[in-house]
Structure 1
Amino acid sequence: MITRLTILLLLLITGFSSTAAPISVSQELVNRITESQKSLQALESKINEETLKYQVQLNKELAAVKALREQATTIQRTADEQLMSIEQLSDRINKWREQDNYQKLLLQTYLEQQNIAFEHTGTSDVTVNPEIFRRLRNELIDDLAPSWQQTDVISTNGEIKPFNVLNIGPIQLAYNSQLQSGGLLENPVNQTLPNLVKGVSQNAQAVQLLQLNQTGIGSVTFDPTLGNATKLQNNQQGIVSHIKKGGVWALPILFFGLLAFIAALLKSIQLMRLPRISKDFIEQLNAKKTSFGVQIPFDGAEKKLVQIALDTPVSEQRDDQIVSYLMQHQHKVENYLGVVATTAAIAPLLGLLGTVSGMINTFMMMNTFGTGDAATVSGGISEALVTTELGLIVAIPSLIISALLSRKAKSYNAKLEANAIQISKFAMH
């Protein structure tokens, strides 16, 4: 700033005598700026080259450090193994032996399932002919590229017919050009020949199988559950068969459930048919007073209470008669409600008893036949679970209905007792 002000003052003093001086100064500044930019670009290029060299060198050093760390880890592991105790070495050898025996067992099981002959050596090793592994390899390659093969199949009408069968992993597709039918195959356990699954493939699927057989291109339908959906459909059962699985303990549960249902139905009808209790009981009696007596504007229990008050003057005898009638009426209203409440309490206990009985049968079957056959022990488990289910199904509605009916009966009796207290000291004459 000071230099520029000085230049301006000199120019003012000289009166701008010369115009060439400013032009030369500006040209010199432009040249200097251009040279500075070139120097800056050269410096940046040099810095980039050196940075790249340093980066490459740094990567090499990092790779060397990584290799040294791996080498150090290997050396440390070797040193640790040298310092291992005899017990640790024995434990490691035992684990290796267990792994080796497990692999041998898997190989032996696979060879037995495939009906492949093998030999046992003195060290319990499994010896197999190498030709067998080549044959298994060829079969695996054939499975990866399946082809149609003619096989006898049981059709949907029960006849044995030759079908073209295509194995795609665990899925089998079949088609017969003469019958113009096809679909999925299933292999029942106690059956040597496969059969067509009923109710799955339609005419459109059969056409697609024909195209797949002839051209190798087609859209097919398959079961993603691998037959489990069909088993579930076949195992669907009704209510009666489901209850039968509960065994003998299902009968008392159903008996108490039916008894509670009948009692609840009758008590509901009885409570609904009871006359409504008047809120302004005394006011209505006063309104019906005449010179000839009192007209009774009520029905049911209230009418009986008014009749007692008319026939008996105010005394302890009237109170005793009113109390006696209230007790009789309360017993009538609350009668048989205990059946529903008892069912709600006893049904879960019967279900628990059935559960214990079923589990005892299950353990007896397991002790006799072992745990290998699930169908043998499933009967006891079904009995245990079904009885528990039935007990809860009976108990829960019974408990709810018992609470509702008891509340209705107690409310009715409480209102009736309130009116009885009012009428016990009411002068009727």
Structure 2
Amino acid sequence: MSVKFVKAAALALTGVLSFSASSVMAQEAKSLDELLNYVKQGQVTEAKENRAREAKFSKDKANQAAALKRAEAERARQEQLSAELEAKFEENQLLIAAKQEQLQERLGTLTELFGHLTSAAGDLSSNLEVSLASAQYPGREVFLKDLIDKMSSSDQLPSIEEIERVWFELMREIRETGVVTKFDAEVASPAGERAPREVLRVGAFNLVDTDGNYLSYDSGSLSELPRQPSGPYTGWASDLANATGGLNSFGIDPTGPTGGSFLAAIIDTPTLEERWHQGGYVGYAITAVGIFAFLLAIWRMIVLTAVGAKVNSQLKSDKANDNNPLGRVLKIHEDNPTMDTETLELKLSEGVLKETPKLESGLTLLKIIAAVAPLMGLLGTVTGMIITFQAITIFGAGDPKAMAGGISGALITTVLGLLVAIPTVLLHTVVNGRAQRIIHILDEQTTGMIAEHTEANLRS
């Protein structure tokens, strides 16, 4: 026995012993015979397990072969079914082509008619979606869309009733554009609350409620405009809504539901109060100065009117009364009948000079306000322009409306300044005229008294 054979046998014995030891649950052998017995028992157990595995593998192989045969049979059946379906599909394609050709042949000139009908229904549907008459007759565009979908299919044709209804909707829309009518509808307030109201529709132009509020129609719903047009428009709308006949004024927006740009322009136009607030603090100051000047001028006019009435009464009286400037001047002559002419003239001139400041009180202040008001307006304009150009520097000049709004707000103070200055100048002129008239009477009467006194002295 060679050395290689001995090594191989030792390795095999080692492997067998190792496997046998695991098979017999690592039983410890007390002798060599017992060890060989254990090895023999392990070989027998291993042979039984191997035969069981081989039997199982054979059975699995047979099952897989049967499954493969069934899959191949199913594939063959599906291939046959696919071939049959392809043949049926080609047959149906030929049949559909034949039926379509037959349909086109039978339709004849109706194809062109249905094309025009589809086009007319589409245009009418687009118009009805924004028409104000749809607020009174909702759902008309739904019928037209369903009809268009029906005519777009190749297997359905419109009925005579449907074609007649398209003509009817066309005629009704033409009629409703020239009708002023009332109907009840649900209207949303600016706060979002919906409630039924009586609505007046003026043709295809505007919708108002009985209170004169203008309404908007969008996506099938009515809502009150959050900002109503200023001026007489809402009053006219209310009068028309409550009128029973005759001619009535009404502010119609000719652009109507397609944009309403005229009505929007009127609504967006600032009111006088809003324009006044655009002037800011400078505008408020100009307004305060103007009110003060107006009140001062009215007060001085009332005072001078009363003084003028007393002076006129004094002219008709022979006795001096000290409740008016002329009476107080005449009293100087009455109190000094024997005074020399030069002294009397000085005394009378002093009396006139004493009365003049009272008569001219407030005139200087009115003149100053008339001169300062335009300057204050210019100050507000300059500061407003500075703010506008700063905004342009930050945000750019891409929005001309924003620039125009800023410049318009800046010019408001100039307008306010002129509105204060022009009436103040006129009031100053009127008040000054009344004061100068009284002063002229004082000078005239003083000169007359001096002449009479001089003439009397010469005769004596």
Bin for the TM-score computed over the shorter chain: 0.3 to 0.5
The two structures have a TM-score, normalised by structure 2, of 0.44
The two structures have a TM-score, normalised by structure 1, of 0.47
Task: Answer with 1 or 2: which has the greater Rg.
Answer: 2
Q: Higher relative CO (CA 8 A, sep ≥ 6), structure 1 or 2? A: 1
